Amino acid sequence: DIGQCLLHRYRHILGLWQPDIGPYGGLLNVVVDGLFIIGWMYLPPHDPHVDDPMRFKPLFRIHLMERKCATVECMYGHKGPHNGHIQIVKKDEFSTKCNQTDHHRMSGGRQEEFRTWLREEWGRTLEDIFHEHMQELILMKFIYTSQYDNCLTYRRIYLPPSSPDDLIQPGLFKGTYGSHGLEIVMLSFHGKKAKGTKITGDPNIPAGQQTVEIDLAHPLQLPDIENLRDFSELSRIVLEVQEQVRREEQEREQRQEGEEHSQQAASQPASPLGGGGGGEGAEGEETAAGAEGTTQDKAPASQPFVLPMGVISRNEDYPRTCRICFYGTGLIAGHGFTSPERTPGVFVLFDDDRFGFIWLELKSFSLYSRIKVSFQNAQAPSREAFDEMLKNIQSLAT
C-alpha cells in the first residue's frame, strides 16, 4: 500500500523542528493531516499581544496517497502549491528545497513582497512603526530570511520533560523582546535551575541561546507595597542576592578545591548551599521557607505586583498580582552576539501560564505567555536526549 510506504518513509519527520536560518530560528510542526503530511511554521501573534494565539502557515506538504511515490510540494509564497523536494539528511535533520522559486515572486516585485511580509509578520505597515531602530531590524530580518526561498535545514527539537515538583508545567512560551517583537522561548527545569531557551532569536541573542536562567534556590521578596514602584529599592534587593549567590559559588569552589587537595573538607566553615552564611542570612532563610510552602502543597498566595517606575514594558497589560519571584540572570549582547553577558534580573511568576522577567540593567520587562498547542510526536525519549538537544541548538547558534 502506497500510503503506508510514504508514511513509513516520512514518519521520521513528524514532530517539532527548528530551521537553521541565521539568528532567527523558528518553530516547525510536522503533522499528518488527512491525506497529507504538512509542515506548519508557527509564528508568534503580532507584537505586543502576547496572550493572542499562535499563527501558522504551511511551508510544505507531502501527498500520502498518490501514485507517484513521495510527491512533495512547496507551499511558500502566495501562488499555491508547486514542486518541491525534501531530503532526510540524517536522523533528526532534514532539508527542504523549492524547485520553482519563481512561484514566490510577486508581480509588484520586492516592494510588494516586503509589504506583504510586513503585514503578515507585524500586522502593520512600515509607516506605522515610528521607531527607527525597529524599522532597521525589521528590514534586516526580511532581507536575511527571504533569501532562503524555503530552502531550509531543520533540526529536531523536543518539548521539555516535566516532573511533579516543577514550579509550573514546562513548555513553550511567547515573550516580548522590545524592538525585536515577540519571540518563542522554551522553559525547562533542571533541579534548582530553570532555563529559558530561545527557539526564535534575533541579531542580538540568536535562537538556541539561553535567554534567562532562574535560580529557584533564591526566591526574592519584593519591596513592600508602598515601595513597589521604587526601582532603586528593587535594584538593591536583587544586587544583594547576586552578591549572596557569588559568595556561595566561591565557597563551593573553595570547598571543591579543598576536597581535591586534602580529602578532609571539614575545615571549611561554610554552611551548605542555600544556608546563606552572610549578614542577611536570617532574611534569606525566611524567604526560602516561604517559597518552599508555596511550591509544595496548598494554593499559592498572590501578592500585588507593579513594575517599578522607569522600567519599560511593550505591554502595559501585564498581570497586577504575582505568586512568587526568584533571582535570575538574563543574557544580553551587542549585534552579532558580541560580548554576551549574563546580567541580574527578577523572574516573576504570575500564574500557571504566565511569567515575566525584569532586566535590571536594561530597565526593561519581558512578559511571557504559554503557547497552548498540544504538539504531537514532540516528547523527548529521555531527559538525557533533551539535555543533549539543548546543548546542540545552543552550540549551533554561536
Binding residues vs Zn ion (CB under 5 A): 74, 76, 98
DSSP-derived secondary structure letter, 271: P
How far is 73 from 349, CA to CA, in rounded Å?
43
Smallest separation, CB 42 to Zn ion (Å): 19
Residue with smaller CB distance to Zn ion, 99 or 268: 99
Residue with smaller CB distance to Zn ion, 74 or 157: 74
Transcribe 78-106 into DSSP letters: SS--EEEEEEEEETTEEEEEES-GGGG--
Residue with smaller CB distance to Zn ion, 120 or 253: 120
Smallest separation, CB 73 to Zn ion (Å): 8
How far is 39 from 15, CA to CA, in rounded Å?
9
Cell triple for 84: 518541491
Residue with smaller CB distance to Zn ion, 24 or 76: 76
Smallest separation, CB 202 to Zn ion (Å): 26
Block residue for cell numbers 536575511: 144
Cβ neighbours of residue 65 closer than 8 Å, sequence gap 6 or more? 2, 3, 35
Residue with smaller CB distance to Zn ion, 77 or 171: 77
Smallest separation, CB 326 to Zn ion (Å): 46
> 25: buried, middle or exposed (CB in 10 Å: 19+, 13-18, 0-12)?
buried
Asked if the bond preceding 223 is cis, omega within 30° of 0, the reply is: no
What length does the chain have? 398
Residue with smaller CB distance to Zn ion, 21 or 389: 21
Cell triple for 245: 549567590
Smallest separation, CB 104 to Zn ion (Å): 5
Smallest separation, CB 78 to Zn ion (Å): 11
